[in-house]
Amino acid sequence: MAEQLTPDFAKGGGLVTVIAQDVHDGTILMVAYMNEEAWHHTLQTRVATYWSRSRSKLWKKGESSGNVQQVHEIRIDCDLDAVVIKVEQIGDAACHTGHRSCFYRVLGDEGFTVEGEPLFDPKKVYGS
């Protein structure tokens, strides 16, 4: 029997944490936030839409870069305060730095190293 669940936006001051994961290989692409409006927009369009804390507005992933996230699956945690969305990353790069994943820095014995090269030049996409 399917349950009708909605994230508990009140716990996070109106926001829930969202982890975007590649539907094909499981790579964690990014972490963002949704408010209730972004949640409903994502459900209706199946395109990842977030709440931008820095801009205080809805943010459809890829609206500037063209790197859209098509939602294939949505999971919600037991406390209803975190969400995982499995997405098809259209345009290869999820990170505003041009990298495929926002988690491109890897800690080794000597400190952090950068994994991979940017897939696009952020200055060309977003300006300076």
Rounded Cα distance, 112 and 128, in Å: 26
Burial class for 58, CB neighbours closer than 10 Å (0-12, 13-18, 19+): middle
Confidence label for 127 from pLDDT (cuts 50, 70 and 90): confident
pLDDT tens per residue across span 74-123: 999 999 999 999 999 999 899 999 999 999 999 999 999 999 999 999 99
pTM for the predicted model, two decimal places? 0.91
Q: Is 80 left (phi over 0), alpha (psi -120 to 50) or beta?
A: left
All domains of the chain in start order, with CATH = 9-126 (3.10.20.810)
Rounded Cα distance, 47 and 88, in Å: 10
Q: Which of 80, 64, 38, 62 is nearest to 123 (CA)?
A: 64
